[in-house]
A and B are shown apart, each in its own frame.
Chain A
Amino acid sequence: MREPLIHSSPMPGLGLSMGITLTMLSLVVLAPIGALVAQGAVMGPEALWAAVSRPRVLAALGLSFRLAFFAATVNLVLGTLLAWVLARYRFAGRRLLDAAVDLPFALPTAVAGIALTALYAPSGPFGAVAAGFGAKIAYTQGGIFLALMFVGLPFVARSVQPVIEEIEREVEEASATLGASRLTTLTRVIWPMLMPAALTGFALALARAVGEYGSVIFIAGNIPMRTEIAPLLIVIELEEFDYKGAAAIGLAMLAISFAMLLAINLVQIWSRRRIGDV
């Protein structure tokens, strides 16, 4: 006899919950993404490549992915540090710090964008300090980098913190008893346990930074070839009614994002296999 696809269950609401889930998923997510893929299929590979290989598009894609990668890397370090401090130490202001880590999740990106610009523009308090050293932050790639760091800050911290809280102290004690220095214990015992979660956070921060728009456009300066991010270029092409050009950039962003997430997944599988599932 054939196995039924969904095992019969006394639980009510199968039809209703499945119906709502699949209808909403199709209507809100799959149909629109399908429209983008269909547009790409209609254009064909040659037209897609012609649209993506324009110098201005390549520069924007390169800038978006490069800065997103740098920002996510810095967030990997800072996020792990924040998670460690919040999970392991008890100090005055810890609760405030713990709540503050989530602010970039809750604060609208446009608000973050104008706030960071007000701070880091040459006339702003931090920008003025930088100007004293002859440096310019807002309206340069440095400004974009700062905005991408802001939006990605909570991802690594929030992925890693629960893992640190779960670590058995005996593991560290065993390592110390066997003569390892604290640094050796941290790098050889603790870090491998944190790595899968840290990479999950890194991947989320990277995906978020690559597609980020609201917090970047105010601080970026938006000069073609230099400080113009890929999502902004999509908006510009749409405003010029160049739907094909916009679709090509959108598809390129999706493809590169998924390739990167796949690569990170493979690293995670590799690191889990190496140290065992924790």
Chain B
Amino acid sequence: MSELTLVRHPAVTEAPPARRVLIGLAFATLALFVFAPLAVVFAEALAKGAGAALQSLASPDARAAIRLTLTVAAIAVPVNAAFGIAAAWFLTKFDFPGKAFLITLIDLPFSVSPVVAGLCLVLLFGANATLGGWLVASGHPVIFALPGIVLATLFVTFPFVARELIPVMVEQGRAEEEAALTLGAGGWRVFRTVTLPNIRWALLYGVLLANARAMGEFGAVAVVSGKIRGQTATMPITIEMMYNEYLSVSAFSLAACLSALALLTLLVKTLLERLHARRTQG
């Protein structure tokens, strides 16, 4: 292929100075809002040296918080993925009226404040409510306990996987699955050998986003957790408690762990996108 440099007529693009100003503005915006906050998290965590940061992460409170956050994500993310796959299958493989309404309901958690989500759970499962009172009496409290934190996390991450899968499965259509069925494959086999290979990258991306949100959720969890140190305080809740106690290095060290997770999520996302672009070109 010959390397042709297309020089666009000035009337169909912006003049070079205008371009430079726009690119400069884009960099300035992200420097102010993205790069600076990230840098300050790591700088504050390491303010008293790496040793102090690591020591604060080994404290009982921090370790309990990390364990709880991993537990919550280990429950909420797979459940969310299973729901996302089922919802995407139901919405893309079958025809029925009211599809748009169902999608709106699945997207609902996006437009509800996390704090209001937590409030809803308290009103349903709190000790004052009928259902909640009965659950507390039978020794299975939801609010101020692990089940409440998991439910709050499920609420805020609810649409993530389904939203990534639905467009991909609409684009794929049903022909490949139908061919496999004609050839005598059973339902699970069709899903495993035909559908799953087609949707695996979208699934991975959805799971990644759900995981980042699950580990980082604050508002909804803050309402239902009760913030019992060492028991119901997740990593973000512990960050808040340490910050309010002026334990700056401890708070920012935990924050640095979650920032690293966010960066890893973005890195994998960028790699997945590049992979996808190469596939569609090649």
Contacts and interface: CB of A to CB of B under 8 A. Distances in A.
Given A32-B123, A114-B243, A116-B37, A214 B116 contact: no
A231 B114 CA distance: 9
Interface string A207-221: 110111110001000
Interface stretch (B11-19, B56-64, B133-141, B196-204): B11-19
| Residue of B82, B114, B116 with most chain A CB atoms under a 10 A cut-off | B116
| Residue of B32, B112, B126 with most chain A CB atoms under a 10 A cut-off | B112
A89 interface: yes
B53 interface: no
B46 to A, nearest CB: 13
A225 interface: no
A21 interface: yes
A35 to B, nearest CB: 4
Contacts of B15: 182
B19 A89 contact: yes
Interface in A1-34: 5-7, 9-14, 16-18, 20-21, 24-25, 28-34
A97 B38 contact: no
B108 A21 contact: no
Nearest to B19: A89
B255 A11 contact: no
Contact of A101 (B30, B119, B124): B30
A271 interface: no
B123 A247 contact: yes
B114 A35 contact: no
B216 A235 contact: no
Contact of A28 (B119, B154, B270): B154
Contacts, number: 289
Interface residues of B, number: 99
B72 interface: no
B22 interface: yes
Nearest to A5: B96
B35 A176 contact: no
B137 to A, nearest CB: 18
A169 B12 contact: yes
Contacts of B83: 20-21, 24
A107 B213 CA distance: 8
B27 A99 contact: no
Interface string A112-134: 10111011000011100000000
A101 to B, nearest CB: 7
| Residue of A10, A11, A125 with most chain B CB atoms under a 10 A cut-off | A11
Interface string B83-114: 10011011101111100001001101111111
Given A10-B181, A213-B219, A91 B23 contact: yes
Given A6-B95, A12-B181, A97-B27, A102 B269 contact: yes
A126 B36 contact: yes
Interface stretch (A46-54, A80-88, A191-199): A80-88
A33 B38 contact: no
Interface of A: 5-7, 9-14, 16-18, 20-21, 24-25, 28-36, 38-39, 78, 81-82, 84-86, 88-89, 91, 93, 95, 97-112, 114-116, 118-119, 124-126, 149-150, 153, 169, 172-173, 176, 180-182, 185, 204, 207-208, 210-214, 218, 231-232, 234-235, 238, 243, 246-247, 250, 253-254, 257-258, 261
Given A109-B236, A257-B112, 7 more contacts: A13-B93, A17-B87, A35-B120, A84-B22, A119-B37, A231-B115, A254-B112
27 contacts: A7-B95, A10-B178, A11-B181, A12-B187, A17-B89, A21-B91, A24-B86, A25-B102, A28-B151, A36-B116, A81-B25, A85-B25, A95-B270, A100-B35, A106-B266, A107-B262, A119-B40, A153-B29, A185-B12, A231-B113, A231-B115, A243-B122, A243-B123, A250-B120, A253-B113, A253-B116, A257-B111
